[in-house]
């Protein structure tokens, strides 16, 4: 185990009709920039998003971007200044083409140093990986987009429309800065956004069978508190009306709850692909559901399988329970936390009503936490998808690349809800399942795959934004 060493990589030539050479200095810069931002603990409460935005802005100014094309909007959130970053790579004056937004988030989920093999905020190279919190989620995307802007500017590339970096500062804790970004004058009219936080692919343990998804939709994230109140009493005199009994009954009913199967253009294709891959009775049943979502027999077969199909319906699951004040007292209150991932097109209010109906206990209160954002499905965009496939093909020949719907949450939901279609974009390639460590212990980034991203973004932006260089 050693600290990161800056090896000089050989130039890489993109095997494409528009041949482009990536200089060794570009690799060195990209890696150095990544290390610099990985050292910043951009966790809520540490006030490091503004220093990170300023660091990135300084690099961009040194790379040829003017102050008038760099903005660092901030918000005061829970007594802390939280920053975002917007950078405009201007197209020609009078261009009628709408901008393309390139999004990522600068904040990270905190890490417990005592659980890691390495210090989470001291980037370390080991076995071809960079270990650090945020290395994959999502500082690799931040560093690569900034590096690409700088190298394209140095090269003299002139896009035929504005390209706009839009980095948020609280994606992991509220997305308040994300919502601010969607109203920024350089961003709000974007034709679409490319989300580096949803641009990850994978290979098997032998490095084969590469697969990438173009995230084009997300389930709505909604959390509910289900609360039982009671007058309590002494535990030596138990009664039937115990608040925990009420919550236990609610848990049992939620456990048996199955929301109806539903498909959109994205998830239907995901189901058909999975049916073809798995085959057999499961594959036939899943294919049947794409034609007849109410088919109970097919649903039973799919649900009984170990194959994950959470994308075909809304899901709700208990995640936390709090009750009582003393071991020798009947609880005066019991509160169950239920987290739901809701299909696009289904409202949070409808899910709340379903929970109310299923639990069927008017003595319980069921309230939604915060203000969940419902986002639509981004439309199929075949010209864009073809460009993404071509860019991935250069670094991962033969990769399967298809649109997908995510059960997790990213900045993309805020952009979609603001009317900006958003798609996952990137070519970071992780080994499944060992490298999927975002938010977990020993998060790590494959160094070679990180460098491949320079080729990916170069080819993709030149393809999408045309221009001269």
pLDDT tens string 335-391 = 999 999 999 999 999 999 999 999 999 999 999 999 999 999 999 999 999 999 999
Q: For 326, phi and psi rounded to 5 degrees?
A: -160, 150
Whole-number percent of the chain with pLDDT over 70: 95
Q: Which residue has the higher pLDDT, 467 or 114?
A: 114
- Mean pLDDT of the 194-199 span: 95
DSSP label at residue 23: P
Quick one: average pLDDT of 249-266?
97
Task: Note the Cα 372 to chain centre separation in Å.
Answer: 16
132 pLDDT band (50/70/90 cuts)? very high
Task: Return all residues near 79 (Cβ < 8 A) that are at least 6 apart.
Answer: none
What pLDDT, on a 0 to 100 scale, did the predictor assign at position 20?
59
pLDDT digits (tens, 9 = 90+) for 276-324: 999 999 999 999 999 999 999 999 999 999 999 999 999 999 999 999 9
Q: How much is the average pLDDT of 440-452?
A: 96
Q: Is 127 left (phi over 0), alpha (psi -120 to 50) or beta?
A: left
Q: Over pLDDT 90: what percentage of the chain?
A: 93
Q: Chain-wide mean pLDDT for the chain?
A: 93
Structure tokens given for 406? 């995510």
Closest by Cα among 52, 81, 87, 42 to 68: 87
Q: Which two tokens stand for residue 430?
A: 């992780």
Domain boundaries, the chain: 2-218+376-465, 220-368
d(C-alpha 391, C-alpha 143), whole Å: 19
> Do the Cβ atoms of 454 and 428 come closer than 8 Å?
no
pLDDT digits (tens, 9 = 90+) for 137-170: 999 999 999 999 999 999 999 999 999 999 999 9
Alpha helices in 279-337 (DSSP H): 280-291, 296-304
pLDDT greater than 90 at residue 175 = yes
- Which residues, listed in sequence order, are joined to residue 428 by a DSSP beta bridge? 200
| Dihedral angle of Cα 216, 219, 220, 226, to the nearest 10 degrees | -170
454 within 8 A of 34, measured Cβ to Cβ: no
Residue pair 420/101 in contact by the 8 Å Cβ criterion: yes
Q: pLDDT confidence of 34, banded at 50, 70, 90?
A: very high
Cβ 78 vs Cβ 88: under 8 Å: no
| Beta-bridge partner residues of 277 | none
Supply the pTM of this predicted model: 0.90
C-beta separation of 137 from 15 below 8 A: no
DSSP three-state, residue 422: strand
* Mean pLDDT of the 102-119 span: 97
- CA–CA distances in Å: residue 60 to residues 184, 243, 415: 19, 58, 24
Fold of 220-368: Alpha-Beta Plaits (3.30.70)
Please give the class, per CATH, of domain 2-218+376-465: alpha beta
């Amino acid at each position: 185990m050693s600290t990161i060493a800056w090896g000089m990589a050989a130039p890489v030539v993109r095997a494409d009709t528009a041949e482009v050479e990536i200089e060794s200095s570009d690799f060195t810069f990209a890696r150095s920039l990544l290390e610099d931002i990985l050292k910043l603990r951009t966790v809520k409460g540490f006030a490091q998003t503004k220093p990170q935005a300023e660091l990135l802005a300084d690099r961009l100014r040194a790379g040829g971007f003017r102050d008038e094309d760099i903005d660092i909007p901030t918000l005061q959130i829970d007594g802390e200044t939280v920053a975002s970053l917007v950078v405009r790579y201007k197209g020609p004056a009078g261009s009628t083409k709408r901008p393309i937004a390139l999004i990522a988030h600068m904040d990270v989920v905190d890490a417990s140093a005592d659980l890691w093999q390495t210090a989470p905020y001291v980037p370390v190279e080991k076995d071809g990986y960079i270990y650090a919190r945020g290395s994959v989620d999502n500082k690799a995307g931040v560093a690569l987009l900034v590096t690409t802007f700088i190298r394209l500017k140095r090269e003299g590339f002139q896009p035929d429309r504005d390209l706009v970096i839009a980095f948020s500062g609280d994606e992991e804790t509220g997305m308040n800065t994300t919502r601010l970004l969607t109203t920024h004058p350089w961003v709000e009219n974007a034709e679409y956004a490319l989300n580096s936080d949803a641009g990850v692919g994978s290979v098997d343990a032998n490095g084969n069978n590469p697969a990438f998804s173009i995230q084009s939709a997300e389930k709505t994230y909604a959390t509910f508190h289900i609360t039982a109140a009671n007058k309590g009493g002494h535990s030596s005199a138990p009664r039937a009306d115990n608040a925990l009994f009420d919550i236990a009954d609610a848990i049992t009913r939620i456990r048996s709850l199955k929301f109806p199967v539903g498909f959109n253009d994205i998830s239907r294709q995901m189901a058909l692909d999975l049916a073809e891959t798995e085959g057999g009775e499961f594959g036939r049943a899943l294919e049947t559901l794409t034609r007849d979502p109410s088919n109970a027999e097919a649903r039973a077969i799919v649900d009984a399988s170990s194959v994950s199909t959470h994308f075909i319906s809304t899901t709700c699951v208990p995640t936390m329970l709090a009750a009582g004040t003393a071991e020798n007292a009947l609880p005066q209150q019991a509160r169950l936390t239920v987290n739901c991932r809701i299909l696009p097109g289904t409202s949070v209010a409808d899910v709340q009503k379903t929970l109310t109906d299923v639990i069927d206990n008017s003595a319980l209160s069921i309230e939604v936490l915060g203000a969940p954002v419902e986002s639509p499905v981004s439309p199929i965009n075949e010209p864009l998808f073809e460009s993404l496939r071509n860019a991935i093909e250069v670094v991962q020949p033969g990769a399967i690349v298809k649109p997908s719907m995510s059960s997790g949450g990213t900045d993309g939901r805020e952009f979609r809800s603001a009317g900006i279609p958003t798609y996952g974009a990137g070519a970071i390639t992780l080994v499944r399942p060992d490298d999927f460590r975002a938010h977990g212990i020993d998060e790590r980034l494959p160094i070679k795959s990180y460098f491949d991203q320079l080729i990916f973004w170069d080819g993709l932006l030149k393809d999408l934004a045309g221009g001269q260089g």
